[in-house]
């Protein structure tokens, strides 16, 4: 493996929405992005999703973790086997539990299994090192967001917003010398995003998600409920800060009195309002917010964001990026940084007391 120069790295991400595995290749030296390669997606079946859902909140050794890990490893091996030409793999695994101030963080799936199955050096367990020294362990995409801001030629502060199961946002000063530089980045989880909407759809209607925000568009949001949720101490806490998918799991029980349409509208409004509330933490106003993740496919959610935040808000496709694969690309990028002993997080992105180079490397025998 070359110690410098650009590599073709393959990254994989399975997010908290539990929809499936994204995989993508990029060419990078860990500083800059030189090219984007192919990508692929492997959905989890409804049966696989139920196994994964049963393991949420569990830790290594708990009863439902092993079958969940087997699904994660099998699904990743299937989709990653479609690629050729990769020199390195970045494997995030599936987050089952995240408690950085308590038990730690748990992403199931063993990178050594994939290293053997695919014959590639595999970087995995990206978050534990950060949590061990006192960081939040999340979000981890900000260093990649900085590289993307430079790639698209940004010259003023902007933000990347990822709307997955949980929302997270990265404020970026693209004029800073590098992502490690003090003041270059600020990142944090904004609050619940797609996860409670998906849970509502599953529990009430047997659907995986609110396709196109259609149900929410026919309802009326309970703004008093939204305001009450935003009084949670999390939203006033200074970043960096992070959430577990289930930190706001009790929301659905509090919406029993609302119709399906109004409940969906309320949770959609909450996802946008949480992002709007987070703007107060930015070191300086942004000129633009670029949205990635599944939430950007929801026109109702995007409209709520634009209504509540008075800046230009676009899906990342507006600048030529692939919002479905950006997180997978991020772990390809981070894998190269781990291989070359570069930082993957900083005090401004996870709250760790120092720069951290997370991840362990497994090599095929």
Find how far residue 72's CA is from the centre of its chain: 17
Q: Say which CATH architecture domain 7-139+324-362 belongs to.
A: 2-Layer Sandwich (3.30)
Question: So what's the pLDDT on residue 244?
Answer: 83
CATH 3.40.50.1970 fits domain 153-319: no
Are the C-beta atoms of residues 40 and 117 closer than 8 Å to each other?
no
Find how far residue 36's CA is from the centre of its chain: 19
Mean pLDDT of the region 191-197: 95
**Of the ranges 26-30, 108-112, 356-360, which one carries the lowest mean pLDDT score?**
356-360
Gap between the Cα atoms of 197 and 322, Å rounded: 23
**18: alpha, beta or left? (left if phi > 0; alpha if psi -120 to 50):** left
Are the C-beta atoms of residues 188 and 159 closer than 8 Å to each other?
no
Range list for CATH 3.30.420.40 in the chain: 7-139+324-362, 153-319
DSSP strand pairing (122-124 vs 360-362): antiparallel
Judged by DSSP in three states, 352 sits in coil
Question: So what's the pLDDT on residue 247?
Answer: 86
Can you say whether the dihedral through the CA atoms of 48, 63, 122, 28 is positive or negative? positive
Judged by DSSP in three states, 161 sits in strand
CA angle 160, 360, 107 (to 5 degrees): 60
Find how far residue 111's CA is from the centre of its chain: 19
Question: So what's the pLDDT on residue 365?
Answer: 86
Question: So what's the pLDDT on residue 2?
Answer: 65
Single pTM value for the model: 0.94
Q: Among residues of the chain, what percentage have pLDDT more than 70?
A: 99
Q: What is the pLDDT of residues 261-290, one digit of tens each?
A: 999 999 999 999 999 999 999 999 999 999
Are the C-beta atoms of residues 170 and 144 closer than 8 Å to each other?
no
Question: So what's the pLDDT on residue 1?
Answer: 63
Gap between the Cα atoms of 352 and 307, Å rounded: 34
Q: What is the pLDDT of residues 313-329, one digit of tens each?
A: 999 999 999 999 999 99
Question: So what's the pLDDT on residue 187?
Answer: 96
Question: So what's the pLDDT on residue 3?
Answer: 67
């Amino acid at each position: 493996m070359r110690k410098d120069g650009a590599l073709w790295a393959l990254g994989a991400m399975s997010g908290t929405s539990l929809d499936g595995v994204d995989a993508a290749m990029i060419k990078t030296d860990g500083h800059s992005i030189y090219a984007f390669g192919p990508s692929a997606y492997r959905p989890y079946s409804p049966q696989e999703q139920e196994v994964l859902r049963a393991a949420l909140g569990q830790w290594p050794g708990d009863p439902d973790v092993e079958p969940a890990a087997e699904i994660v490893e099998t699904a990743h091996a299937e989709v990653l086997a479609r690629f050729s030409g990769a020199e390195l793999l970045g494997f995030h695994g599936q987050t089952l539990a995240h408690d950085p101030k308590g038990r730690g963080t748990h992403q199931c799936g063993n990178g050594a299994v994939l290293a053997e199955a695919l014959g590639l050096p595999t970087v995995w367990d990206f978050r534990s090192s950060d949590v061990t020294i006192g960081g939040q362990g999340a979000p981890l995409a900000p260093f990649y967001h900085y590289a993307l801001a430079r790639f698209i030629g940004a010259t003023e502060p902007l933000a990347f917003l990822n709307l997955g199961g949980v929302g997270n946002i990265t404020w970026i000063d693209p004029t800073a010398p590098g992502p490690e530089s003090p003041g270059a980045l600020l990142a944090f989880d904004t609050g619940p995003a797609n996860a409670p909407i998906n849970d509502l759809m599953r529990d009430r209607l047997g659907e995986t998600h609110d396709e196109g925000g259609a149900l929410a568009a026919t309802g009326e949001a309970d703004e008093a409920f939204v305001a009450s949720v935003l009084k949670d101490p999390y939203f006033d806490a200074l970043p960096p800060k992070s959430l577990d998918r289930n930190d706001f799991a009790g929301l659905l029980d509090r919406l029993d009195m609302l119709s399906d349409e109004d409940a969906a509208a309320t949770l959609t409004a909450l996802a946008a309002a949480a992002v709007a509330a987070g703007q107060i933490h930015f070191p300086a106003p942004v000129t633009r917010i670029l949205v990635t993740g599944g939430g950007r496919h929801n026109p109702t959610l995007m409209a709520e964001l634009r209504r509540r935040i008075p800046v230009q808000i676009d899906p990342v496709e507006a600048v030529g990026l692939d919002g479905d694969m950006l997180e997978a690309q991020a772990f390809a990028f981070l894998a190269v940084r781990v291989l070359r002993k570069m930082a993957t997080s900083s005090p401004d992105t996870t709250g760790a007391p120092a720069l951290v180079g997370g991840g362990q490397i497994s090599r095929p025998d």
